[in-house]
Structure 1
């Protein structure tokens, strides 16, 4: 990872609206513990004690022990909150701390907290009149749970189905190019991963030997990626219970309360130990860029910058997928490869642009980091079928080399022991820029 950790063209502190967005994200992470305790245990205790007394008395005893289960749930919330608060700390230090007036901070922080970073930053947040959106609170919870898929040993079954086809396709492409280019090194292949999320695919591509740039615009995931890739001290530093807060469809409490250690590997140590004999060290081959994918990678400065673009569970985040196709085409070199795997759960389905207050919250979700009239903030949306997406890619000058619709069956942050299972039958295709 580069020293800057995340690179991008925008400064989130340069615009008041952007600061408001950033503060909402930070507060959603800081508030994880309080809100989870309220919504997951406090409310359930109230409902439990609203039962007829003979009923809640019965259910308080073995083998049910509902009150004991709620106490255990409180403990697991605290464990999850340790991760959320660690993300908050790293995010605050990266985005907010450099712009703070140290004298003002000293004037509002009691002496007893002078050496407690979390308390200092939390007190600062209390003085900034932060208004946290419901959407950001939901994303904070989702972000913690996503660590199960991306950075737990048990999540490898799920992510492996999605990432191994990408790594295999990269190796096939490298092997083919090696026959035409003498002394070609894996590091010579430049790979872009849009929608980098928590950074696991970026890490895996780098570990495989290629030069890779991740791109992400979600502040939650930017901060979480920075934490796991740059600021963890060891494997298994945190324990999370991703399925504990949902109380439906469990076969047993043991299933509901199962914990998972994350990260399953220590990224920095692993890259340093494996890259000692490589032509280009791993920390020089992996970088991250913040910003709207369409806005950044449609720029002339990125024209022909990458040999491969790899999109996993990403293209359906586009309101207007033509913008994505144009951006991929712009940043790929001639004969470059676009590798895609994922479903088509269109995230912006049938969104409506209006000026009424009733849609104000939805409109806020369409704004992105200073780009209100560009990228994902452009008006309009469309939902295509897999066949139509492939036809569109062809229309923009790509040759489809492989198309395997429904070939990858996988869940997404799925509890395999749950009584409810959701499975995607994702499409996998490879397209080459003519």
Structure 2
């Protein structure tokens, strides 16, 4: 892992050219650096990276291999199991095979700018139907055609991040260039176009999970979930061992990392999407796990609902907080199959489903899995809407979900009696959604872009259900 260091000897070595050393204590060194002095820094030195300069303060980071990020026993074991699942010899090799899906996601990121440019060219073609007189007005007043040029250049900037995602992904998953090239050729020969929307959505998830501008969405749900976990598992309980929490549908993992910051929790994230997983692996490698070291223009893929063109084109820096890759384990794969092994049976103290249960092809399979992995007396914490997709096997209303969960062995807890959530500025509960049922409504925004002229808001359903022992 790249770790921030203040190495007295190294800093003093740099003193001659860039830093005036003074006040050394406890191996720590700070100094003032002038713009003239910075020209003396050897940028090719592989040991150090000038990470940030704030008010003329130079911070150095030590370079270590990417693989060193994830060296805990459970990370090493899960990596071995993941590579086994990705092996071409495992299972039936078709478009549903995890290796095929991974290669397709890599291809999507590799040609991001190219596929987005195709869409941009389509929009330019539509503009050609505007009359000369109308174009003259548009160009004179708003320089409309310049948007195409600006977006073209910003696509190239986004491609730099996408290319880094590909590089880090190939390294993490141990994909050889020859295999990747062969996959690309075979997909082209089959006339299969690379995915465009999934890549764009993955880039937007950097905003939702790891940018300061996504805080308004996170703040609608995270405080309720975190406070609930702290109340369910107080650290003051001397008999309490490390609490094991599973978060399926984790996306880019921010909620899991916030849970991991609480004392006494061991967190396992789960995500099926290869696009999201590639983005997360990118985040957990240096220097991308250091605050605000990467920048994207995530809103240029859509031309709708922008207040200003500047809002549409604006950059977003991420991550807004440092990541500790060792604090969270990511288990990749479908929630209903990734935890089938006996070792996962009755192994978790809590399952947290955040904006997740309505993604199910079969909600009953989700419920079966939650029931199987929870320990007797374990807790299911849910926060999210019921926005079903186009072809789920069952689409249960809220009262039906409650009835089925109770029939499975869950008891819904009275949150207002358990803790004073109502009136908490950071967790705003509405009245119970159904009379007599311990399920609470919380307004939750979902939309990635806080400056857009539209808002998607759900009456998210928040509950805590305890598995009977």
TM category (shorter chain) comes to 0.7 to 0.9
1:235 and 2:291 matched: yes
Write out per-residue CA displacement over residues 227-265 of structure 1, whole angstroms, 9 at most, x where no aligned residue: 112344432222222222211222221222222101112
Q: TM-score normalised to the size of structure 2?
A: 0.71
C-alpha separation in 2, matches of 1:132 and 1:198: 31
In 1, are the aligned partners of 2:447 and 2:456 still within 8 Å (CA)?
no
Question: Which residue of structure 2 lines up, in the alignment, with residue 29 of structure 1?
Answer: 109
1:162 and 2:174 matched: no
1:47 and 2:159 matched: no
The verdict on how the C-alpha distance between 1:183 and 1:398 changes in structure 2, with shifts beyond 3 A counting, is closer
Q: How does 1:15-414 map to 2 (within 5 A)?
A: 15-17=92-94, 18=97, 19-40=99-120, 42-61=121-140, 63-95=141-173, 97=175, 105=178, 126-129=184-187, 136-175=195-234, 178-179=236-237, 182=238, 184=240, 188-209=242-263, 210-233=265-288, 234-268=290-324, 283=326, 285-347=327-389, 349-350=390-391, 381-402=393-414, 404-405=432-433, 407-414=441-448
The verdict on how the C-alpha distance between 1:49 and 1:27 changes in structure 2, with shifts beyond 3 A counting, is same
1:426 and 2:468 matched: no
Question: Which residue of structure 2 lines up, in the alignment, with residue 364 of structure 1?
Answer: none
Q: Which runs of 5+ in 1 are unaligned?
A: 106-120, 272-282, 352-380
Q: How many residues matched?
A: 363
In 2, are the aligned partners of 1:82 and 1:238 still within 8 Å (CA)?
no
Deviates more, 1:52-61 or 1:14-23: 14-23
Q: Answer 1 or 2: higher relative contact order, Cα 8 Å, separation at least 6.
A: 1
Please give the root-mean-square deviation of Cα atoms over the aligned residues, in Å.
2.5
The verdict on how the C-alpha distance between 1:425 and 1:79 changes in structure 2, with shifts beyond 3 A counting, is farther
The verdict on how the C-alpha distance between 1:219 and 1:126 changes in structure 2, with shifts beyond 3 A counting, is closer
Question: Which residue of structure 1 lines up, in the alignment, with residue 25 of structure 2?
Answer: none
The verdict on how the C-alpha distance between 1:154 and 1:132 changes in structure 2, with shifts beyond 3 A counting, is farther
Say which one has the larger Rg: 2
More helix by share: 1
Q: Displacement, 1:267? A: 0.9
Q: Displacement, 1:306? A: 0.7
C-alpha separation in 1, matches of 2:207 and 2:192: 24
C-alpha separation in 2, matches of 1:178 and 1:322: 36
Q: Displacement, 1:124? A: 5.9
Determine helix, strand or coil for the equivalent of 1:136: coil
Q: TM-score normalised to the size of structure 1?
A: 0.77
